[in-house]
Structure 1
């Protein structure tokens, strides 16, 4: 009974930590124009506030291996959540462009290190319920993105049109996560680091493994699709004549559908564990959604946003599971996840920027949708190349 209670507390702590892994990026979006005008920035300068942390999530993911060895799970995550909370809070006072860029950079590094460590923790603590635990983890990230994207504008108005305090508000999530994590992850739940090092099994680096590179590409394609939609779907709605509030509602519909899939797909994986089926199913929904957007119909953007939200919500937990399926212990899972997220998030940060350049050149989002279709085709090809046996492994 105590063990069950301990695992439930740990899952809740993982959920709260995951809540903190998106607001630094997604809280900027609703206030992008406000910050740009207030600080007299160009579009490219203000877009770096969202691009930098995403690229950092990729560039610095390999540090997770060394961070885990040095600090362990409990202290390592506590330090990182503390960094996210403090740097988010000080945005209320250090609100010039350079300070925002520096905080975005450091928060991105912290998020980069947390991701692989949490995945390795799930591999270690929930070996027979990996899909469900990953589902809770991805649900937390989806909820964090939804809350910050949907409420930051409301907070801005409520606080008295002070965007710096609206951004700093999200530090409260870090405080809550820190307290719950510190209690849930009791010291006795983690072996001393010197014992871990003695017991560590030598494994081949994922950087020399072809399957790891395929999984990296899959993660990169789905991350690129996610950040491209979060960055440009509202703009695409505006191109169709939607008001600012209506365009924001399109994003809200997409994120609600995403959260629904974040919950549903991992639960369905427990009953029907065939990974490839759910990947193909998610890609099929996304293809239909993008075809609806390509029609240019004002009405069809709503069902398109639902289908694309379901696609994103299904692909993300599946992308998190693939490196865990390939590994046998927590340290190996940490190494694989760090590699996969390194390339994956760099792609996720660069593709939306490339779409912006393409949009400036063409003046239409029709090409944006074609790029997104290309990402779906890429995931389909990678899934075909991956060994079917691995994709059918049980969570």
Structure 2
């Protein structure tokens, strides 16, 4: 950046101030592109620590003696950590600076991956807990950065960030087993590989801490009144309910399809196909949502597509399961990405966006963790999947009503106070 007390790079220009503004603009554009790239890399790393476990869970159980109950807890623990630790993120950011907390979150994530790979069953659970905690904190802070630094490109940048989340999940789900096989059938190597992209993201993110150091050191704030605002609760309800649908699909769709006659390989392939389709609407959903006066039409479209896709998977002829899996993935990718967009759009400024993100994702994920449990219990009680499917549809309808309320073109009302 060229400073006013430095000689201008082109003193022969007739308008040196114009030259200065052009240099500053170019520097600002370069910073924005770099920040967007760094956010993309961070986003990619917020799912592999979780989605890499399921493909090798049977191998983990075989080598460690982990019980079925322990395996269920291992897969549920990260989502519970999202809810438990997300509310801490705005406080940490206010005290230490958003960029520094994100960097330290990545460092904790690296340590967590190593802990669960190399230190037995105790390390497996402790590492999973720390991974969920670090991801929960980082995930809450990124919408505030989008609100602060990309206020005019909220739709596009939220889409890029959400696509990174889905891409990371898909890569980990698809590559962990081949990595395990390549390494002599070692699940530890398959999981340890995901240290590499986290390290890369931390290295790329590190300059952000220096760039924002002076700004964050001088500004600490508190946000008050958020939990008294109905719009904040509507955004929270939508995030929680659509997340409930997502975790029901992640946890149970293959089992539902196997009971309908598909082979385990085909059932897993349908889930992978559905996740892959989310990449499309995770990028396009926020763009669509920001084209109109508000987000209600986009929310209704994506939720209806989700419910139609799931109903097709649960009840339609199995020869068309691939089609319904595509429809389901397109709907869920849009539901999630628009949910993150709502956090940014409903907040009037970056501090409120961070606090609203903590509330919506903290309470939302806490509730969403119970969804797969209820889905499975309904199946056990009824002996078939019909009651569980109707539970899914009922949650989707509730999410639709919450989304229609949260999608109005309004801001939450909260008070931001700077403190010394």
**What TM-score do the two structures reach when normalised by structure 1?**
0.92
Q: Is the Cα–Cα contact under 8 Å of residues 18 and 138 in structure 1 kept in the other structure? A: yes
Q: Per-residue displacement from partner, 1:315-372 (whole Å, max 9, x unpaired)?
A: 1111112222222221111111101111111122121122222233334333332221
Question: Which region of structure 1 is more displaced relative to structure 2, 153-162 or 253-262?
Answer: 153-162
Which residue pairs with 1:264 in the alignment? 284
Q: CA deviation at 1:186?
A: 5.5
Match of 1:3 among 5, 17, 28: 28
Q: Per-residue displacement from partner, 1:260-316 (whole Å, max 9, x unpaired)?
A: 111222233454463111101101111211221232522232111111101111011
Q: Is the Cα–Cα contact under 8 Å of residues 25 and 49 in structure 1 kept in the other structure? A: no
Match of 1:345 among 365, 372, 375: 365
Q: Is the Cα–Cα contact under 8 Å of residues 250 and 305 in structure 1 kept in the other structure? A: yes
Matched pairs, number: 386
Match of 2:77 among 49, 52, 61: 52
Which residue pairs with 2:176 in the alignment? 152
Structure 2 unaligned blocks of 5 or more: 1-25, 412-420
Q: Is the Cα–Cα contact under 8 Å of residues 114 and 127 in structure 2 kept in the other structure? A: no
Corresponding position: 1:88 with 2:113? yes
Match of 1:79 among 78, 83, 104: 104
- Secondary structure of the residue aligned to 1:82 is helix
**What TM-score do the two structures reach when normalised by structure 2?**
0.87
Which residue pairs with 1:187 in the alignment? 210
Partners of 2:334 and 2:293 lie apart in 1 by 13
Partners of 1:87 and 1:132 lie apart in 2 by 32
- Secondary structure of the residue aligned to 2:384 is coil
Which residue pairs with 2:158 in the alignment? 134
Q: Per-residue displacement from partner, 1:233-267 (whole Å, max 9, x unpaired)?
A: 11112212322321221011101110111122223
Map of 1:82-121 to 2, 5 A cutoff? 82-94=107-119, 96-121=120-145
CA-atom RMSD in angstroms = 1.9
Radius of gyration: which is bigger? 2
Partners of 1:39 and 1:81 lie apart in 2 by 27
Higher relative contact order (CA 8 A, sep 6+): 1
Which residue pairs with 2:394 in the alignment? 374
Structure 1 unaligned blocks of 5 or more: none
Map of 1:13-28 to 2, 5 A cutoff? 13-28=38-53
Q: Is the Cα–Cα contact under 8 Å of residues 116 and 126 in structure 2 kept in the other structure? A: no
Match of 1:314 among 330, 334, 352: 334
Structure 1 residues 194 and 271: alpha-carbon distance in aligned structure 2, compared to 1, 3 A threshold: same
Map of 1:289-300 to 2, 5 A cutoff? 289-300=309-320
Partners of 1:162 and 1:359 lie apart in 2 by 34
Q: Is the Cα–Cα contact under 8 Å of residues 113 and 192 in structure 2 kept in the other structure? A: yes
Structure 1 residues 124 and 243: alpha-carbon distance in aligned structure 2, compared to 1, 3 A threshold: same
Q: CA deviation at 1:203?
A: 4.6
Corresponding position: 1:31 with 2:71? no
Map of 1:158-169 to 2, 5 A cutoff? 158-169=182-193
Q: CA deviation at 1:218?
A: 0.5
- Secondary structure of the residue aligned to 1:160 is coil
Which residue pairs with 1:196 in the alignment? 219
